[in-house]
Amino acid sequence: MAVRAIRGATQLEEDVRDHMLERVAEMVTDVMEANDLEVDDFISVIFTATSDLVSEFPAYAARRLGFGEIPLLCARELEIDGSMPRCVRMMAHVETDLPRADITHVYLHGAAALRSDLTRVRSVPDGDE
């Protein structure tokens, strides 16, 4: 069993608590489904949020999915001119038998434009839900 890092990102339409919880839960669930993972496969998860998102901690959405025993951390995304607004990103460290090349990273809604360079990405642009 190897330790792998899996990335994900999503963009919110507005900074509303329920919307934050919904979008982050969707991202975490999609990462799990795309990589055949259970909660117990997770070692830790780091979430970042842009400074325009203040309605809720992204990690709370994961806690509601059963991540109560998994170390979770929230941090502020760097404020770079022209960067995507209302964006939550995650980097999960997991135990898996998947080779690194078979890991699927998940970019949802507006965040689908962030990593078009990756070869294994499940992306869902807005309007394609």
Give domain limits for the chain.
1-122
Q: 60 among the known binding-site residues?
A: no
- For the chain, the maximum distance between any two Cα atoms, rounded to a whole number of angstroms, is 40
Mean pLDDT of 53-77: 97
**Residue 118: both structure tokens together:** 């990756």
Global pTM reads: 0.89
What's the confidence (pLDDT) of residue 113?
Answer: 76
Please indicate whether residue 107 is annotated as part of the active site.
yes
Q: 89 among the known binding-site residues?
A: yes
What's the confidence (pLDDT) of residue 99?
Answer: 94
- Evaluate whether 106 touches 34 at the Cβ level (below 8 Å): yes
Fold for 1-122, please state it.
60s Ribosomal Protein L30; Chain: A; (3.30.1330)
The percent of residues in the chain predicted with pLDDT above 90, rounded, is 79
Distant-in-sequence, close-in-space partners of 8: CB < 8 Å, separation ≥ 6: 27, 28, 30, 31, 89, 90, 91, 92, 105, 106, 107, 108
Which member of 14, 17, 33, 63 is catalytic?
A: 63
Which member of 26, 86, 87, 107 is catalytic?
A: 107
Please indicate whether residue 60 is annotated as part of the active site.
no
